[in-house]
Amino acid sequence: MNHLLDALELLGDAESWQGSGGFGARAVEHLWYTAVAVAASALIALPLGLYVGHTGKGRYPAVLGSGVVRALPTLGVITLAALFVGIGLTAPMIAFIVLAVPSIIAGAYSGVESVSQVTVDAARAQGMTPWQVLFKVEIPLGLPLILGGLRLATLQVVATGTLAAYVGAGGLGRQLFLGLRTQDYPLMLAASVLVILLAIALDAVFSLSQRAARLRTGP
Amino acid sequence: MGWILNNSSRILELTLDHLLLSAPAIVATFILALPLALVANAVRPLREVVISGTGLLYAIPSLPLFIVLPLILGTGVRDPLNVVAALTLFGLALMVRSAADALQSVPQEVRLSSTALGHSRLGRFFTVDLPLAGPGLLAGLRVVSVSTISLVSVSAVLGVRSLGSLFTDGFERNIVPSIVAGILCTAVLALVLDLLLVAAGRLLMPWAHRGGRA
């Protein structure tokens, strides 16, 4: 338990939060990586997923993709990317996007698919164009599941984000690997606790927004 | 290809190490998920607590958990027991919900009639509930098996030997084939284990695949 106390003391010490290499800057960096990676992935994946859900085309590769990603070892993806593009932020970003895209696609198409065919038919019968059906019916009603895909992708990126430091980028993994190399268990522990708190906080934000989306569309 | 052939014995060893970390975790997940699922189903107010509680575990990133868990277990970070315990927790995050759903899908009439036929509670669980929930349990276990096998690799950065060591070695010594071999072997191992689970399912539940449920 002494290690835990040391770690907490480290986290309670204002000095360890300050500066460009402090916990504060690293946590912001970690969040920033996550935001950029999830936004970039969403830009690619949401249109694809909505297309699959709306038209029913390409469902098989989409299902297969999310299955393959679950089996893909994240460390393998990130190190392989690093050998090709060199150390720095590019390799982790490629890995983040590779890992996040399938979850977002899966969330988007299952969200659209979850809307009952009767509702979609009724919307068409009202004279809505396909775009109106998509934006006014399918997306709002499928929003909880679409957010679910983004939630899974975000958690995946936060987790993989700790490995970014292994291939020379920043984030909270920096302190974690510094602690590992210098046999400083309290430092590793403090960084780990921060990453876990970050993940749980982001998960809670998504959980709340999913609940809000569900309330808005009714049961 | 040449590198892979030259290092085949080492790759095989690491595959075995990988299996020795993941298989116990998959088995432990299955054994622990059943009682948790039963409790969740039996005590209504606990259902949400148990299921979302274990589900929350999935939000925890793997590498930090490998580092924090020794505090509770009293092991070292590199201890295989620590890795297996962390993997089991991740497995439970996925498995408890599917086990609870599978056990709940057993029709109430069937339960009542088996009690009427004189099954004891325990006897009913093993001869009626468990076989009928089988296909759902198998589906959950297949997901756990694939995700466990891919999660093991992360522990390599801590110095635990597994197929993940091919990633760390490959990265540090700039050997692309080493990383490619690691990814391929992980995929093959996941596939083999999945096929074994499906085969076991057919053997234990010969009635299930005809309906196309598994």
Smallest Cα distance from B181 to chain A, Å: 10
Neighbours of A216 (CB within 10 A): 11
Six token digits for residue A147: 């957010």
**Domain-located, residue B147:** yes
Interface test with chain B among A31, A75, A154, A174, by most B beta carbons within 10 Å: A75
User: What pLDDT score does B31 carry?
Assistant: 94
Question: Given an 8 Å threshold on Cβ–Cβ distance, is A80 in contact with B179?
Answer: yes
Interface test with chain A among B151, B157, B185, by most A beta carbons within 10 Å: B157
**Domain-located, residue B74:** yes
User: What pLDDT score does B83 carry?
Assistant: 92
Neighbours of B180 (CB within 10 A): 18
**Domain-located, residue B54:** yes
B-chain CB neighbours of A167 within 8 Å are 171
Average pLDDT, 10 consecutive residues per value, chain B (214 residues): 83 93 95 90 82 80 88 84 92 89 87 87 86 89 92 90 92 91 92 92 80 46
Six token digits for residue A104: 């977002």
Q: Got the DSSP string for chain B? A: -HHHHHTHHHHHHHHHHHHHHHHHHHHHHHHHHHHHHHHHHHSHHHHHHHHHHHHHHTTS-HHHHHHHHHHHH---TT-HHHHHHHHHHHHHHHHHHHHHHHHHTS-HHHHHHHHHTT--HHHHIIIIIHHHHHHHHHHHHHHHHHHHHHHHGGGGGGT--STHHHHHHHHHTT-HHHHHHHHHHHHHHHHHHHHHHHHHHHHH-TTTGGGT--
Residue B159 burial class via C-beta count within 10 angstroms: exposed 0-12, middle 13-18, buried 19 and up: exposed
Question: Given an 8 Å threshold on Cβ–Cβ distance, is B168 in contact with A79?
Answer: yes
**Domain-located, residue B155:** yes
Look-up of token digits 């859900």: A53
pLDDT < 70: residue spans in chain A: 1, 218-219
Smallest Cα distance from A105 to chain B, Å: 19
A-chain CB neighbours of B77 within 8 Å are 185, 188
**Domain-located, residue B5:** no
Among B29, B182, B5, which Cα is nearest to B98's? B29
Of A83, A180, A191, the CB nearest to B176: A83
User: What pLDDT score does B214 carry?
Assistant: 41
For each of the domains in chain A, give its residue range(s) and CATH number, in order of start. 2-217 (1.10.3720.10)
User: How many interchain CB pairs under 8 A, A with B?
Assistant: 121
Smallest Cα distance from B120 to chain A, Å: 40
Interface test with chain A among B52, B162, B179, by most A beta carbons within 10 Å: B179
Please tell me the total count of domains within chain B. Answer: 1
User: What pLDDT score does A1 carry?
Assistant: 59
Say which CATH number the domain at B162 has: 1.10.3720.10
User: Could you give the CA distance from residue A119 to residue A217 in angstroms, rounded to a whole number?
Assistant: 13
Nearest residue on chain B to A84, judged by CA atoms?
B176
User: What pLDDT score does B212 carry?
Assistant: 47
User: What pLDDT score does B84 carry?
Assistant: 94
Provide CB contacts within 8 A for B189, sequence distance 6+: B15, B18, B19, B22, B149, B163
Interface test with chain A among B14, B18, B62, B171, by most A beta carbons within 10 Å: B171
Task: Report whether A29 contacts A170 (CB < 8 A).
Answer: yes
Alpha-carbon radius of gyration of chain B: 20
Of B64, B156, B166, the CB nearest to A196: B64
Task: Report whether A63 contacts A110 (CB < 8 A).
Answer: no
Of A83, A177, A192, the CB nearest to B64: A192
Of B149, B154, B180, the CB nearest to A75: B154
Q: Which domain holds residue B158?
A: 10-211
Smallest Cα distance from A88 to chain B, Å: 13
**Domain-located, residue B1:** no
Question: Given an 8 Å threshold on Cβ–Cβ distance, is B149 in contact with A191?
Answer: no
Of A79, A177, A195, the CB nearest to B170: A79
Provide CB contacts within 8 A for B32, sequence distance 6+: B88, B92
Task: Report whether A166 contacts A78 (CB < 8 A).
Answer: yes
B-chain CB neighbours of A177 within 8 Å are 157
In angstroms, what CA-CA distances link B41 with A68, B38, B114?
32, 5, 19
Question: Given an 8 Å threshold on Cβ–Cβ distance, is B61 in contact with A76?
Answer: no
Q: Three-state SS string across A23-60, please?
A: HHHHHHHHHHHHHHHHHHHHHHHHHHHHHHHHHCCCHH
Q: Which chain A residues touch B if contact means CB-CB below 8 Å?
A: 1, 3-4, 67, 70-77, 79-80, 82-84, 155, 158-159, 161-163, 166-167, 173, 176-177, 180, 185, 188-189, 191-193, 195-196, 199-200, 203
Instruction: Tell me the pTM.
Output: 0.86
User: What pLDDT score does A218 carry?
Assistant: 62
